[in-house]
């Protein structure tokens, strides 16, 4: 009997522990709960039916979709039932929360490229499944990508998904504009927002993947710094958001120069106002950030005109994912996400005296992480950066990068982005023997569950940042 079968629609079976999030525009509370019969942790989404201004049918739709869809990258639900004034939807516990949570709490200026690759590949896999069932997700965004404590990536937010099958016929295009869509507008494709007769299809999700990639990498969603109406205008007029790093940053300067003399404005060259957010970042982050060409290309590919956008299946073959090859995200993600601590069994024992509705933050300090230095391969820098981290806990990532800036090149220390760059080169160069390439992932996979020290050792033995390979 699987766990799914054991969860019965009985409110008495669950012990609510803490509030770990909000959903459905704050009309729903996500609670951490213990399933009393078999003592496992899970999450319960409680939708309050009297307070919420939600369209009830959309709540039902969401539950139905959760139960109909079965895929490892789509959040499944154990069961749903009505308890008092609430609908309870029992879901597996996704220990790391959503990618939005990760951005808020730990990766303020963006998640490293390699981590994003792992996340997006799973997202695309989930989308591929949905698209093959002629379902459009319509709200792919960081807050709808959940990561479990052991690194599984799931898509949630099924409330807005819709079928391309209308009256038993698969439609090539649909025209429905989702109701209560305000919080997903930034991710929506231009063709969806335009609401005209050309309609949209599953390719709309691919655009959202592109925007999500920018969101994850830049730390902020494109167009967030402008009114919705202006965002609409920018999208329809063809402004394409991009990853913001030091090379693109050079381009921005040149475009600005072209516009300030007033000549290029008429020729349709628009200053991308949505990138102003980039200038607000600390200079250290801006200079050192350098995404691989394949990542830039991936985003560009996703954000093309609908007719040229590849399918989710085709996108999974994109060069960008070559850096992670076939390695499973299951062991890699928890390592890559360090020092973020997921909510899991070990973080809330021994007594469950956490008040209901208590903030998640109270859980986090309980978790003792040993080492946070996953990106530094040389031992010489780790101490310094650890010190820095103590001094500036919030700006942890920046200070680490600053640190490495002053280190001569001979040092093995690499910033996350630099390491992926080298990685990219390594893959492109023909002299890397396939044998060694195959060997490394295996060892790292084995090492991963045991913890970081093991991993480090393996990386030290072979030169360069091999462990990420």
Partner 1 sequence: MESNPTDVCYESDHTAESEFNVINYFNDDDSNLFFHRVDSDQIIYQPRQKKAKLFGQYIMGDILGEGSYGKVKECLDSKTLCRRAVKILKKKKLRKIPNGEANVKREIGLLRHLNHQNVIRLYDVLHNEEKQKMYLVVEYCVGGLQDMLDYAPGKKFPIWQAHDYFHQLLRGLEYLHSQSIVHKDIKPGNLLIATNEVVKITDLGVAEVLDIYMTSDICRTSQGSPAFQPPEIANGDEEFSGFKVDIWSSGVTLYNFTTGKYPFEGDNIFRLFENIASGEYTIPNELDSSLAELLRHLLEYNPANRPTIKEIREYSWMRRKHPQNTERVPSPPANDMLDAHHRMSVLPYLEDLHRVESTDDGPSDDDKTSKHHQLAPPSPSVAKKQAVQKSKKSTCRQS
Q: Compute CA 229 distance to the chain's CA centroid, rounded to the nearest angstrom.
A: 26
Query: Closest distance between partner 1 and the C-beta of residue 264, in Å?
Result: 10
Triad 240, 243, 244: Cα angle to 5°: 110
Query: Closest distance between partner 1 and the C-beta of residue 271, in Å?
Result: 7
Query: Closest distance between partner 1 and the C-beta of residue 3, in Å?
Result: 40
| Between 178 and 219, CB nearer to partner 1 | 178
Q: Select from 87-95, 386-394, 405-413, 459-467 the region that touches partner 1 (CB under 8 A).
A: 405-413
**Residue from the set 50, 409, 431, 463 that interacts with partner 1 by CB under 8 A:** 409
- Tell me the per-residue interface mask from 411 to 450 with partner 1, x by CB under 8 A, - otherwise: ----------------------------------------
The residue to which tokens 């030169």 are assigned = 463
Compute how many residues bind partner 1; rule: CB under 8 A.
43
Q: Beginning with the edge strand found earlier in the chain, give each strand of the sheet holding 79-83 in spatial order.
A: 14-23, 28-35, 40-48, 86-92, 79-83
**Whose CA is closest to 448, among 435, 432, 464, 459?**
459
229 lies in the site for partner 1, by CB under 8 A: yes
Angle formed by the axes of helices 329-337 and 434-447, nearest 10°: 70
Within residues 181-200, the interface with partner 1 by CB under 8 A covers 181-182, 185, 193-199
Q: Select from 2-10, 69-77, 281-289, 298-306 the region that touches partner 1 (CB under 8 A).
A: 281-289
Cα separation, 252 vs 269, whole angstroms: 12
**Residue from the set 227, 350, 365, 393 that interacts with partner 1 by CB under 8 A:** 227
Query: Closest distance between partner 1 and the C-beta of residue 266, in Å?
Result: 7
Contact of 160 with 197, CB cutoff 8 Å: no
Query: Closest distance between partner 1 and the C-beta of residue 197, in Å?
Result: 5
**Whose CA is closest to 205, among 135, 150, 152, 252?**
135
Residue-wise burial string across 255-290, b where 16 or more C-beta atoms lie within 10 A, e elsewhere: eeeeeeeeeeeeeeeebbebbebbeebeebbbebbb
| Between 259 and 386, CB nearer to partner 1 | 259
271 lies in the site for partner 1, by CB under 8 A: yes
Cα separation, 99 vs 15, whole angstroms: 26
Cα separation, 19 vs 43, whole angstroms: 9
252 lies in the site for partner 1, by CB under 8 A: yes
Contact of 29 with 44, CB cutoff 8 Å: no
Query: Closest distance between partner 1 and the C-beta of residue 322, in Å?
Result: 27
Within residues 153-182, the interface with partner 1 by CB under 8 A covers 166, 174-177, 181-182
Residues within the interface to partner 1 (CB under 8 A): 166, 174-177, 181-182, 185, 193-199, 227-230, 232-233, 236-237, 246, 249-250, 252-253, 256, 259-260, 262, 265-266, 271, 276, 279, 283, 286-287, 405, 408-409
């Amino acid at each position: 009997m699987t766990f799914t079968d054991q969860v019965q629609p009985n409110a008495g079976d669950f012990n609510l522990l803490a509030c770990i999030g909000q959903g459905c525009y704050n009309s729903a509370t996500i609670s951490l709960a213990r399933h009393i019969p078999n003592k496992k942790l899970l999450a319960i989404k409680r939708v309050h039916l009297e307070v919420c201004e939600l369209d009830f049918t959309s709540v039902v739709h969401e539950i139905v979709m959760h139960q109909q869809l079965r895929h490892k990258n789509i959040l499944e639900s154990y069961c749903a039932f009505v308890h008092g004034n609430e609908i309870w939807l029992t879901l597996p516990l996704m220990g790391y929360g959503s990618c939005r949570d990760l951005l808020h709490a730990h990766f303020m200026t963006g998640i490293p490229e390699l981590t994003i690759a792992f996340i997006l590949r799973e997202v695309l896999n989930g989308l591929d499944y949905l698209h093959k069932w002629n379902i459009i997700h319509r709200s792919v965004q960081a807050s709808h990508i959940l990561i479990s404590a052991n690194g599984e990536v799931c898509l949630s937010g099924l409330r807005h998904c819709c079928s391309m099958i209308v009256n038993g016929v698969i439609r090539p295009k649909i025209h429905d504009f989702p109701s209560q869509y305000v919080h997903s507008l930034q991710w929506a494709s231009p063709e969806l927002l335009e609401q005209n007769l050309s309609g949209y299809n599953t390719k709309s999700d691919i655009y959202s993947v592109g925007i999500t990639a920018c969101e994850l990498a830049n730390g902020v969603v494109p167009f967030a710094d402008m009114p919705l109406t202006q965002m609409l205008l920018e999208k329809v007029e063809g402004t394409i958001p991009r990853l913001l790093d030091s090379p693109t940053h050079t381009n921005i300067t040149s475009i600005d120069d072209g516009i300030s003399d007033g000549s290029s404005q008429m020729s349709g060259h628009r200053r991308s106002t949505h990138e102003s957010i980039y200038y607000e970042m600390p200079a250290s982050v801006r200079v050192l950030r350098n995404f691989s060409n394949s990542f830039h290309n991936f985003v560009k590919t996703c954000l093309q005109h609908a007719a040229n956008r590849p399918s989710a299946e085709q996108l999974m073959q994109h060069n960008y994912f070559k850096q992670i090859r076939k390695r499973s995200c299951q062991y890699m993600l928890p390592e890559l996400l360090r020092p973020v601590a997921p909510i899991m069994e070990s973080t809330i024992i021994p007594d469950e005296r956490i008040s209901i509705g208590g903030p998640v933050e109270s859980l986090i300090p309980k978790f003792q992480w040993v080492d946070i230095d996953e990106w530094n391969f040389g031992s010489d820098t780790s101490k310094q950066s650890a010190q820095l981290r103590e001094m500036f806990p919030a700006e942890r990532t920046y200070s680490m990068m600053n640190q490495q800036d002053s280190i001569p090149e001979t040092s093995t220390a690499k910033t996350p982005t630099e390491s992926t760059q080298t990685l990219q080169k390594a893959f492109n160069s023909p002299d890397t023997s396939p044998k060694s390439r195959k060997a490394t992932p295996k060892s790292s996979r084995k090492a991963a569950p045991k913890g970081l020290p093991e991993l480090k050792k393996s990386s030290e033995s072979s030169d360069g940042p091999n462990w990420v390979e």
